């Protein structure tokens, strides 16, 4: 079954072709340059840019796969969560194409799809039960995966997503958007032990996260608690040490939650997904600190950031059990509409 995946939930316009076993093509058109001057994603511009480029990106995905529209059997599209205007572009495009070609369309959850990136193009077998962690610009969430169909949300961030926190701290350090890769680069020459920031944790909620406190801590470190926000009180050559210490601190909070989840729900595998998971220091920390009995899975780098391959893989899988989405399905910005349940 040839599945066309479409992703437009934020600032990547993406299409991919997946045949159920092999990824035949994977096209991602990034909008980073468009949003750089705003220091973050400008939702209205993102939606307009998707509208301009979706068809070209789909055509390129078909060309790379050596197929035509007539070969598509199923269309999978990210329908939640995300920026509503951006999501609607992908969903309406998928529905129109599905109607024109008379083929089924399925809307899938973007966050769940990040977990499914671990099942594409890999020799590593995921053993269940597994603990899944999403660390992206829009989400930070911990899951217990009893199987591919039985996924429970254990915890989530109570304020900022971890990637959002990277982007905001990067701005404080005069680094461009997106901040994650910039902080990773700067941190490589810094000492992660130079600023002993407190690892964020939530009392009596070991699987939840909070990243707003560390953000404020960095602000105060840079400018003093009551200082002017345009006059840093520490020299610029200290920024690398702040970047390294910040990165280590927030990754430690992810690691702590995963370890606690493993204590309560012993897992055979650990899966991760989302843009932050392409950070090498994060991978090293998890590989060095998770118990050796856990099979650690990271997706390929091009599948960690937003992409349509993961949408196609999840849609292909779900269609077999759930069938197509109803004709009147639409986009939703909220993850509350997901099939992922909130208790164990």
Minimum gap (Å) between residue 293 Cβ and ligand KG4: 27
24 vs 6: CA distance, rounded Å: 14
Residues that bind Zn ion (CB under 5 A): 136, 306
Compare residues 9 and 325 and give the one whose CB is closer to ligand KG4: 9
Minimum gap (Å) between residue 61 Cβ and ligand KG4: 18
Compare residues 97 and 141 and give the one whose CB is closer to ligand KG4: 141
Partner from ligand KG4, Zn ion, none binding residue 184, C-beta < 5-8 Å depending on class: ligand KG4
Alpha helices for the chain (secondary structure H): 32-36, 43-64, 84-101, 110-116, 162-172, 179-187, 212-223, 239-264, 280-289, 309-322
Compare residues 136 and 140 and give the one whose CB is closer to Zn ion: 136
Sign of CA dihedral 302, 306, 312, 315: positive
Minimum gap (Å) between residue 26 Cβ and Zn ion: 15
Partner from Zn ion, ligand KG4, none binding residue 279, C-beta < 5-8 Å depending on class: ligand KG4
Minimum gap (Å) between residue 267 Cβ and Zn ion: 23
Partner from Zn ion, ligand KG4, none binding residue 241, C-beta < 5-8 Å depending on class: none
Query: 327: helix, coil or strand?
Result: coil
Minimum gap (Å) between residue 162 Cβ and ligand KG4: 8
Partner from ligand KG4, Zn ion, none binding residue 112, C-beta < 5-8 Å depending on class: none
Cα 331–chain centre separation:
18
Partner from Zn ion, ligand KG4, none binding residue 182, C-beta < 5-8 Å depending on class: none
Query: 311: helix, coil or strand?
Result: helix
- The answer to whether residues 313 and 17 touch, using CB atoms and an 8 Å cutoff, is no
Minimum gap (Å) between residue 111 Cβ and ligand KG4: 8
Partner from Zn ion, ligand KG4, none binding residue 160, C-beta < 5-8 Å depending on class: none
Structure-derived torsion over alpha carbons of residues 341, 11, 222, 251, reported in degrees to the nearest 10: 40
Minimum gap (Å) between residue 317 Cβ and ligand KG4: 20
Residues that bind ligand KG4 (CB under 6 A): 10, 136-138, 163-164, 166-167, 178-181, 184, 274-276, 278-279, 305-306
SS3 of the chain: helix, strand, coil, percent, to 5:
45, 20, 35
Partner from ligand KG4, Zn ion, none binding residue 167, C-beta < 5-8 Å depending on class: ligand KG4
Residue 103's CB is within 10 A of a number of other CB atoms, namely 17
262 vs 290: CA distance, rounded Å: 9
183 vs 203: CA distance, rounded Å: 28
10: nearest Cα among 78, 63, 69: 78
Compare residues 126 and 303 and give the one whose CB is closer to ligand KG4: 303
């Amino acid at each position: 079954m040839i599945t066309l995946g479409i992703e437009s939930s934020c600032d990547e316009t993406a299409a991919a072709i997946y045949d159920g076993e092999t990824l035949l093509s994977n096209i991602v058109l990034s909008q980073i340059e468009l949003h750089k001057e705003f220091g973050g994603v400008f939702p209205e511009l993102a939606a307009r840019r998707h509208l301009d480029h979706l068809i070209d990106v789909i055509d390129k995905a078909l060309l790379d796969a050596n197929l035509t529209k007539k070969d598509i059997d199923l269309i999978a599209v990210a329908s939640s969560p995300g920026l509503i205007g951006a999501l609607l572009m992908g969903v309406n495009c998928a529905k129109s194409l599905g109607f024109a070609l008379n083929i089924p369309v399925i809307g899938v959850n973007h966050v769940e799809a990040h977990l499914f990136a671990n099942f594409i193009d890999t020799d590593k077998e995921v053993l269940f039960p597994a603990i899944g962690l999403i660390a992206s610009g829009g989400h930070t969430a911990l899951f217990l995966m009893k199987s591919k169909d039985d996924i429970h949300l254990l915890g989530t961030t109570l304020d900022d997503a971890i990637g959002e926190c990277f982007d905001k701290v990067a701005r404080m350090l005069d680094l461009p958007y997106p901040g994650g890769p910039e902080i990773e680069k700067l941190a490589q020459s810094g000492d992660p032990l130079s600023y002993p920031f407190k690892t964020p944790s939530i009392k009596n909620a070991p699987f939840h996260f909070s990243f707003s406190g560390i953000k404020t801590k960095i602000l105060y470190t840079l400018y003093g608690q009551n200082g002017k926000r345009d006059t840093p009180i520490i020299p610029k050559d200290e920024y690398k040490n702040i970047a390294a210490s910040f990165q280590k601190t927030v990754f430690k909070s992810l690691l702590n939650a995963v370890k606690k989840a493993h204590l309560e729900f012993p897992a055979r595998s650990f899966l991760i997904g989302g843009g932050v998971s392409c950070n090498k220091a994060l991978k090293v920390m998890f590989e060095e600190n998770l118990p050796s009995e856990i099979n650690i899975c990271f997706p390929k780098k091009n599948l960690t950031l937003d992409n349509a391959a993961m949408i196609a893989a999840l849609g292909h899988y779900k269609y077999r059990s759930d069938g197509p989405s109803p004709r009147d399905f639409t986009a939703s910005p909220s993850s509350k509409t997901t099939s992922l349940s909130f208790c164990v």
